[in-house]
Amino acid sequence: MLPQLVTVRVRRPRGRTIRVWVPLLPFVLPLLPVVALAAVVACLLHHVSVPRALVRGWRFVSALPGTRFDIEQGGTAVLITIK
Amino acid sequence: MNEQRKDVLDLLAEGKITADEAERLITALERDQPPAVVDLDARPRGRAKYLRLEVDTLDNGEPGRINVRVPLQLLRAGVRLAALIPPQALDRASAELAKSGVPIDLKQLKPEQLEALVEHLDDLVLDVDQPDAKVRVFCE
């Protein structure tokens, strides 16, 4: 399943928290042809099999949901989750 | 089919024993069979889904915490994707690692070895306890 939502939460030392929900589909869909083209050119330049690279890249992106990074130092905290 | 069972069937085919006797002999042979060897590699896979890294630190009196959860599927996909990196890029990366004091030849790391490592990560529990830091790596 493709990642659909990235949540970023930043807590500052004064206690103020910023939460941002980024729906990925509206950002990814327009960029997808450009990214795919860039990947194809890079593969051709470095003599890497294009279909194999595209399939493996797609699988990597599809495996992203469930990833979570939570870093806290003193009063500052950053949380990034991919759903 | 094992040899003894074949002998019994041969005797039956030659008419030297009756069907009832053959059945009794085969039943007796099955009773004497040693128990099947348990294949440790046949254990159910996919129990653990995530690799977790938890770090608790105390830096200049300020507590710090890192909590990372990475799907094991992402690690597998990453290993397969990394297998496509051209050798010249691996050479350059190895040279940079060596400059930084980490003399690892990345070309020696085979994708199949890394995949095997990821497959067995669900058995991993790593605990490091120090006065100012605590690190825990495990799968869930």
Could you report the per-residue pLDDT of A11-49, keeping only the tens digit for each? 887 778 899 999 988 888 888 889 889 999 988 988 888
| B27 and B39 both lie in a single domain | no
Does the predicted interface ipTM exceed a cut of 0.90? no
Q: Which residues of B touch A74 (CB under 8 A)?
A: 62-64
Q: Closest approach of chain A CAs to the CA of B66, in angstroms?
A: 4
- Give the model's pLDDT for residue A67: 94
Q: What is the DSSP letter of B34?
A: P
| Residue in A closest to B63 by C-alpha | A74
B75-128 tens-digit pLDDT:
888 888 888 888 888 888 889 999 988 888 888 888 788 888 888 887 788 899
DSSP H helices, A1-83, are: 24-45, 50-62
| B38 and B10 both lie in a single domain | no
| B129 and B93 both lie in a single domain | yes
* B contact test, residue of A44, A46, A72 with most B CBs within 10 A: A72
pLDDT at B49 over 60: yes
| B47 and B99 both lie in a single domain | yes
Q: Which residues of A touch B71 (CB under 8 A)?
A: 63-67
How many domains would you assign to chain B?
2
CB within 8 Å of B55: residues ≥ 6 apart: B64, B65, B66, B67, B133, B134, B135, B136
A42 near B CB under 8 A? no
Beta strands B50-59 and B62-71, pairing class: antiparallel
- Give the model's pLDDT for residue A20: 92
- Give the model's pLDDT for residue B37: 42
Give exposure, B64-82, as e/b (b: 16+ Cβ within 10 Å). beebbbbbbbbbbbbbbbe
Residue B25 vs residue B38, higher pLDDT: B25
Show the domain range for B4: 1-33
Task: Mark yes or no for CB contact B80/A56 under 8 Å.
Answer: yes
B82 near A CB under 8 A? no
Minimal CA–CA distance to B140: which of A52, A66, A69? A66
Q: How far apart are the C-alpha atoms of A66 and B87, rounded to whole Å?
A: 31
Supply the mean pLDDT for chain A. 89
| B24 and B93 both lie in a single domain | no
| B45 and B63 both lie in a single domain | yes
Q: Compute φ and ψ for B32, nearest 5 degrees.
A: -85, -5
| B11 and B70 both lie in a single domain | no
Q: How far apart are the C-alpha atoms of B140 and B136, rounded to whole Å?
A: 12
Residue B3 vs residue B118, higher pLDDT: B118
- Give the model's pLDDT for residue A26: 86
| Residue in A closest to B86 by C-alpha | A46
| B74 and B116 both lie in a single domain | yes
Q: Closest approach of chain A CAs to the CA of B122, in angstroms?
A: 17
C-alpha B1: how far from chain center: 32
| Residue in A closest to B88 by C-alpha | A46
Q: Which residues of B touch A60 (CB under 8 A)?
A: 74, 77-78, 80-81
